[in-house]
Every structure is written in structure tokens, then in C-alpha cells.
A and B are shown apart, each in its own frame.
Chain A
Amino acid sequence: MIPLSWYLILAAALFGIGLFGVLVRRNAVAILLGVELMLNAVNINLVAFWRYGDMATMAGQVFAIIVFAVAAAEVSVGLALVISVYRRRNTVIADELDMLKW
């Protein structure tokens, strides 16, 4: 049997990698890829807690499905923003999007 800790460590590592991507990548689309990794790490945790906790309540799986919906919303609006920015400024490099800066 696999102890719960293995899943939690895997999720933490995936979260860390996603965070690294979000902090480090310059391309806005690549940043959203990192966010996807982080959301998946959260989902692994939720499903693992469902499996190792009280299975009959289903709370973990319901939350995980809601996370799917949130991820879908995040990706669609996020990428739409990136496309919109690209059309106006002709770049998707996050550093160069400094219109609000003096």
C-alpha cells in the first residue's frame, strides 16, 4: 500500500515546479502553463484526501471537479487576455507589458 505522504510530497513537488514556472518564465502563455501545473497539484491533494479520508462524503472529488471548472475559466480568460494584449502591443513577454509603469 502507498502511504498518503507519497501523494502529498508528489503534489508539493509539482506545486513547486509550477511556481518556478510562474515566477521565472517571461512568456505569458508559459506562465499560464505553470499555473496549470499548480492547479493539478492541488487536485492531486484533493483526490488523495478523498481516498484516504471518508470516501462516502465525496467532498474531495466534488472540489476537484470544481477546480476543473475553475481551471477551464482561468485558461480561457487568461489566454484571451494574452491574445488581446498581443494584438495591441505585439508582444507576449510579461516584462514588456509595463503600460501602468511610469
Chain B
Amino acid sequence: MTGEQIIFLIVALFTLGSALMVVTTRNLIHAALWLVATLFGVAVIYALLNAGFMAVVQVVVYIGAIAILFIFAVMLTRKDLRDNTPQTNKNWWAGALVAALTFVGLVFTLQSWSGFSKTASAVPLGFDAISQLGEQLTSPTAYVLPFEVASVLLLAALVGAVYVAFNKK
């Protein structure tokens, strides 16, 4: 086993462990903080995949903005933080079964695919992902339409959220 594989396994276990804490913790602020840990683990996974830009963006967007939005929303919507009512449905076992079946089904389907245990080719020398990304995001023959549509989507989200949450009547 190489060093890279050991690092991957540690990070993957950390990520999955904190993800489990996210869905099981009673205190919602703790759940949000565990989400931060999970997302940080995912950022490390991106770094292992040689996608440095994605790793930094993951930290900037998820930890810097989305996690904070979650914490603010929790603060805005709780009556009592120490509520002792059950945090899960009555039929939580059915949910667990569906989730487990989804996981098994996904792995089973993927396993029959020929490229399942592919190994990565080396990164080409002088390959600059960010520069490539900039070119493709603005090139009319590539992804300029998603680029502009993303802007419209964000506008719709901002206007919609402001309207829905704080429309003073």
C-alpha cells in the first residue's frame, strides 16, 4: 500500500464518519459543524485528485458561505435548542434500508462497468487547469452558455430567497 492510498483511506474514513455525525447528531449547530468537517474532507479528496482549484473553491464556498448560512438559519428557526423530541422519523429503519440499498445498488451497477478500476494517467507537464477552465468558460464553442445561465440562476436564487423569506406585507 502506498502513502497516497493510506492518506486516501484516512481522509475517506474521516469524511464518512463526520457525514454520519451530520445525519445523527441531535444538536443542529453541531450537525452544521460536522458538515464543515465533512466538506473539508471532500476538499482534501479534491486535492488528492490534483484538482487544487476545486479544493480551494470547496473551502471558500461551502465552509465560508454555505455553512455560515446554515448556522444563521438554525439560529433563526429554533424555539429551544435543547429540544428533547426525537430527531428522526418513526420509521427510520426504512430510511436506513433505502439508503443502504441505494449504496449497494450503486456499487453493484458501477462494478459491472469496464472502467471501474481504471488508474489515472499522469498529469501532463505544464497543464494549467485554471487557465483551461477560464478559456472553456468563455469560449462560445464550449461552456459560455452555462456560465451566463449560472449567473441568471444565482440572480433567481437571490431574488427568490429575499422575496420568500422577508416579504413584508
Contacts and interface: CB of A to CB of B under 8 A. Distances in A.
The answer on direct contact between A and B (beta carbons under 8 Å) is: yes
A27 B80 CA distance: 13
B103 A13 contact: yes
Interface string A1-34: 1111111111011111111110111110110111
A77 interface: yes
A30 B87 contact: yes
B152 to A, nearest CB: 10
B120 A1 contact: yes
A81 interface: yes
B74 A29 contact: yes
A69 B20 CA distance: 25
Contacts of A77: 157, 160-161, 164
Q: How large is the interface on A (under 10, 10 to 19, 20 to 34, 35 or more residues)?
A: 35 or more
Contacts of A43: 42, 54
A10 B120 contact: no
A5 B110 contact: yes
B89 interface: yes
Interface residues of B, number: 86
A76 B19 contact: no
A76 B153 contact: no
A47 B46 CA distance: 7
A73 B157 contact: yes
A81 B107 CA distance: 35
Contact of B49 (A15, A16, A48): A48
Contacts of A32: 70
Nearest to B50: A51
Interface string A41-65: 0011001101110011110011011
Interface of A: 1-10, 12-21, 23-27, 29-30, 32-34, 36-37, 40, 43-44, 47-48, 50-52, 55-58, 61-62, 64-66, 68-73, 75-77, 79-84, 86, 90, 92-93, 95
